[in-house]
Structure 1
Amino acid sequence: MRWNPREPFGPVELAWHSKLDRIHMPPYDRHLRPHALLAAAYAQPVLSRLMPVNSHFNLWFSTSIRDSWKARVGYAIHPYDEGLYGVWDKGVPLVRTETPEEAVAVLVAALPEGLGPAS
């Protein structure tokens, strides 16, 4: 679902825009790689319908707006200091990629079929 300029943002869209807009404000303006990861994820229609959750630069997704930690879906992605992106499943490293787009592609490929929007 994409934003209609005549309607207010829904909770998921608001969360995405809030996170993506933080790159323009200190101290977030120093963290370009996590922002690139968010932008790559938002570009995927299936992910832009889910609630983005991040902590300590890790990014994962939820099908719940309120209890995001209880309805986690898919893998988590972490931008490593050495310029790589790690894809993790329940604390176990799966793969390292060179770009945020590659990490997001790994995550999207492993999502369950027919995943609906966060609610």
Structure 2
Amino acid sequence: MPRQPRQHIAQLYPEVAVAGSLQAAMQAELDHAGYSLTASLTSSPGWWDCATRVGDNRRHVTTVAGSEQRWFTMEFWERGVCMAHGKTADLAGSAGAIGLWQTGSRLRELQAAWSFVRFGELAEAYERGDPVETQWNLHRQTRAPHIDHALIEAAYAQPRLRMLFPYTSHESLHLSRCTRFPFTRDIPGITPLADGTYRVTWPKRRSHLGHANTPSEAVDLVVRHLPDGCRPAVDATALELDDPDSTSEPS
């Protein structure tokens, strides 16, 4: 016997409850709009009635129904990057935005058609094919407390690191030879410590490489351990790079 959608789904989304799940309701809307697309379940089993995914590994959209208010919350992805997001109370509008994105629309075209869609300058930089400098600028300009600005500036001042794609994780600075997730993990990362010093580690195993007293010393240690022939970050995921060891680190 089919499972019944949970009570909040029935209350806030009667059309979803009638269809049996958001997946089924979204499929009906896509079919009605004339899009040859398939709505699938997401990877979260607990969201079987309130979430759906449309697309493939190149482009996809995830949609989740809110539990307290009627909102279809959406994320628009392209090759490992969340390019845009938005929310709407209109299921048909959600399906329309999905259909337009999956047929290859650009960001401004998508927003012009569906005003609830939002995106930032980094997404547009990805669309242009040059996100590295924009990502560095965002890190240099942010006032987020987990960003060590002295470290960011020291890394940016080094040309061999400035050509790589920076990202942060748990207050650590990492650098990638590609601009899309999953990132390469064969370049040492730098973690600021509470005493004002820095720990340099290989990210994949978090194995210790060295300790530095200043940001410049930490950056110099990373430069000395860059992979052979390290070049500017490319518009790819680590899995798309030609190097089969791109997600590994030196032994």
Asked if the contact 1:60–1:73 (Cα under 8 Å) also holds between the matched residues in 2, the reply is: no
Matched, 1:16 2:136: yes
> 1:52·1:61 contact (CA, 8 Å) conserved in 2?
yes
TM-score normalised according to structure 1 size? 0.79
Q: 1:97 aligns with which of 206, 212, 217?
A: 212
Whichever residue aligns with residue 66 of structure 1, its letter is R
Number of corresponding residues: 105
Partner residue in 2 for 1:87? 200
Structure 1 segments unaligned to the other structure (5+ residues) = 1-7
Letter in 2 for 1:36: A
CA distance in 2, matches of 1:16, 1:79: 18
Distance (Å, rounded) in 2 between the aligned partners of 1:100 and 1:44: 11
Measured after TM superposition, the shift of residue 106 of structure 1 is 0.3
Pair member with larger Rg:
2
Aligned to 2:9: none
| Deviation by residue 1:84-118 (Cα, 9 ceiling, x = unmatched) | 10001231122211100000100000112321111
Match of 1:73 among 186, 203, 211: 186
Q: Name the structure 1 match of 2:226.
A: 111
TM-score w.r.t. the length of structure 2 is 0.39
SS of the residue corresponding to residue 132 of structure 2 reads helix
- Mapped partners of 1:31, 1:71: distance in 2: 22
Q: Which has the higher contact order (CA 8 A, sep 6+)?
A: 1
Unaligned runs of 5+ in 2: 1-127, 235-251
State the one-letter code of the partner of 2:226. Answer: L
Runs of 4+ more than 6 Å apart: none
SS at match of 1:95: strand
The residue correspondences of 1:18-57 to structure 2 (distance < 5 A) are 18-23=138-143, 28=144, 30=145, 34-57=148-171
| Change in 2 beyond 3 A, CA 1:114/1:60 | same
Q: Distance in 2 between matches of 1:20 and 1:66?
A: 20
Deviation at 1:18, TM superposition (A): 0.5
